[in-house]
Amino acid sequence: MSNRNAFLVFLAGTLASLVLFLALTWDTHQQVAALTNADKLSEQVVAGKRVFEKKNCNECHTILGFGVYYAPDLTRAYARIGAEGIKTVVLHPETVFANSFRKMPNLGLTEQEATDLVAFLEWTNNIDNHDWPPQDRKYTQSPDQRRLQGAGLSPGAAAFKAQCMGCHSIGGQGGSIGPALDQVGAKYDAATIAAYIAAPTTINPNAKMPPQTNVSEADRQAIGEFLAKQK
């Protein structure tokens, strides 16, 4: 191939890529409002975003992939730990992460700031980002996905996997927001654990675990029986 032909191939390839790139960029921008549910950007969501900036959560976390890679990406935090979970984490990180190797400082948020942050993270949770960025494996699964993996387990173990492992671990598997529960049966019996799930402070007045109000009565009994055997 002559130099001239090589140059033409280069030019055609570059121009074609450029046109494609610009067309796809334009197409994406057309869809941003729909993909992000821009109509749901309420004042509270905006207030939550301001808190996120003021407290510089990006110093450790990423959101939509932007930020620092020390702590988990927060785009889907709402799906993983829910409104009460987020509030507990941001208001009492020193208790929640007492057993973790990585720490989150108490940033002195007010109750109102925490509520606004929840609204903001609920909004980001609904952004259709085509699952990008990939989430920290340990933090990715929704309760439904976890429940599916529980097939073949006892009802108590399956319900525990589905609804508690985002925060608790057994045998080294699961989250570290709450304590590992490998020895919990030595401390509480089944009925006490079932009661603890719905209203932790009735069992331990200082408990920082948010009441798990979405767990059904039957699941609480089954989880209680399963956990009482862990000792």
Q: Which residues in this chain contact ligand HEC in the complex, by CB under 6 A? A: 55, 57, 59-61, 70-72, 74, 77, 80-81, 85-86, 88-90, 95-97, 100, 102-105, 107, 117, 139, 163-164, 166-168, 176-179, 184, 187-188, 193, 196-197, 204, 206-210, 212, 215, 223
Minimum CB distance to ligand HEC smaller for 41 or for 180: 180
Q: Please state, in angstroms and as integers, the Cα–Cα distance from residue 135 to each residue in 28, 84, 100, 158, following that order.
A: 22, 21, 19, 23
Amino acid identity, position 152: G
CB of 86 to ligand HEC, least distance (A): 5
Amino acid identity, position 213: T
Distance CA 26, CA 162 (A): 41
Minimum CB distance to ligand HEC smaller for 42 or for 106: 106
CB of 9 to ligand HEC, least distance (A): 49
Distance CA 195, CA 58 (A): 37
Minimum CB distance to ligand HEC smaller for 21 or for 70: 70
On the 0-12 / 13-18 / 19+ scale of CB atoms within 10 A, 39 is exposed
Minimum CB distance to ligand HEC smaller for 13 or for 133: 133
Question: Is the sign of the CA dihedral 177, 183, 186, 190 positive or negative?
Answer: positive
CB of 126 to ligand HEC, least distance (A): 16
CB of 144 to ligand HEC, least distance (A): 15
Contact (Cβ atoms closer than 8 angstroms) between residue 181 and residue 193 = no
